[in-house]
Amino acid sequence: MVVMLAPFERWRNRWVPSTNDSQFGHFRLSSGNFYGHKEKDKGLQTTQNSRFYAISARFKPFSNKGKTLVIQYTVKHEQKMDCGGGYIKLFPADTDQKNLNGKSQYYIMFGPDICGFDIKTVHVILHFKNQYHANKKSIRCKVDSFTHLYTLILRPDLTYDVKIDGQSIESGSIEYDWQLTSLKNMEKASAEAEGWDQAAKDKSQDWEKHFLDASASKPSDWKGELDGDWQAAMLQKPPYQDGLKPEGIDKDVWLHQKMKNNYLTEYDLSEFENIGAIGLELWQVRSGTIFDNFLITDDEEYAENFGKATWGETKGPEKEMDAIQAKEEVKKAQEEDEDDMLMGRFSGRENSFKGFHGRNEL
């Protein structure tokens, strides 16, 4: 499964801007002021300062159940971001694109967020049971003005990996890094409250059945409507004990078995049933960010090769162009300073000449 969304290919037909708020900022297609390849580096660029933005693209819905999910894209804060988001969101297929806003439910929020000196983080937020759960680890994002490749990998064995520029910067267990253990304990308590009493009653009844007199038979004059259900007489039996039971199962064993049967399907944060849209829903104080090379796949190797073929090919030339522009700006500034100095000298001489001429007239 591969979903690629290259913004420069008929982008106005594929990307739908939200009309939820008339004050939403506008996107344009641009490779920026410096780039590695003028055409290949064209992406969606924010254009207005101090605005919310909301735009999305739809694709054929799919479920990643039992499969790896890889989300990858590039982001470039050409304006040297001071405060604003550079993250993407993965949405359910039934998302109302025209009404997309900050309250729209999403499955995954992933990417950099920068604001001042304190916030320079990579968000990895997952939606589960009507709540959003953030990774408890602090993952630092890039803060320079170059294009960077961000990759999130969620695996069916509940492990994950966050990469920047192809290098793993954080990885681990979804169960622990999203505090899934607390959810598991809540489920355990709920299971204990809801199911244990009935299970204990059933086990007790099963225990009783082991000591019925198997040789006994129902009396011929026994009438079910009047006498009720007939049951053989009980033989002498050991006392039934709560806790460790004669049949060999106690409360903890029962709960463990229940959780084992239901836990992974109940609490697998890496599985989403109806993925159908990707979008940018964010706020920026200073605009100019460029988003590009969107990829969703179940193949980690494919994502790695795609990153090398896109960002990997243009990252070097991009830095070279920036360095050339920087040198040209320095040269231009020096020339302007020299011109100012020459103008200052000429102006001084002119004033001196006027002063001398004035004295002769006197």
Q: What is the pLDDT of residues 346-359, one digit of tens each?
A: 665 566 555 545 54
pLDDT in the model for residue 186: 59
State mean pLDDT over 182-188. 59
Which SS3 state, helix, strand or coil, does residue 96 take? coil
Question: In whole angstroms, what is the distance from residue 154 CA to residue 243 CA?
Answer: 40
Residues β-bridged to residue 77: 289
Cβ contacts of 299 within 8 Å, gap of 6 or more? 1, 2, 68, 70
The two tokens of residue 342 are 């020459």
Between CA 303 and CA 321 the distance in angstroms is 27
The tokens for 68 are: 């790896």
For residue 255, what pLDDT band results from cuts at 50, 70 and 90?
very low
pLDDT, tens digit (0-9, with 9 covering 90-100), for 118-171: 899 999 999 987 889 999 999 999 999 999 999 999 999 999 999 999 999 999
Mean pLDDT of the chain: 81
Place of tokens 């100095």: 341
Angle between helices 300-309 and 311-361 (to 10 degrees): 30
Q: Regarding beta strands 275-284 and 289-297, do their DSSP bridges make them parallel or antiparallel, or are they unpaired?
A: unpaired
The yes-or-no verdict on residue 180 having pLDDT over 90 is no
Going through the chain in order, the beta strands assigned E by DSSP cover: 2-5, 15-17, 27-30, 43-46, 51-62, 69-77, 83-85, 88-92, 108-115, 119-128, 131-134, 147-154, 159-164, 167-173, 275-284, 289-297
User: Can you tell me whether residue 73 is helix, strand or coil?
Assistant: strand
Give the type of residue at 156. Answer: P
pTM metric for this prediction: 0.74
What is the per-residue DSSP string for 157-208? TSEEEEEETTEEEEEEEHHHHTTHHHHHHHHHHHHHHHHHHHHHHHHHHHHH
Question: What is the residue whose two structure tokens read 């294009």?
Answer: 147
Residue from 84, 97, 142, 140 nearest 282 by CA = 84
What is the structure's pLDDT at 130?
A: 83
pLDDT digits 0-9 by tens, 12-55: 888 999 999 999 999 999 999 999 999 999 999 999 999 999 99
* Burial degree of 228 (CB within 10 A; 0-12, 13-18, 19+): exposed
CB 40 within 8 A of CB 310: yes
Gap between the Cα atoms of 286 and 80, Å rounded: 9
Is residue 94 over pLDDT 50? yes
Residues in the chain: 362
Q: What confidence tier does 271 reach under pLDDT thresholds 50, 70, 90?
A: confident
C-alpha neighbours within 13 Å on the C-beta side of residue 70 = 24
State whether residue 288 is helix, strand or coil.
coil
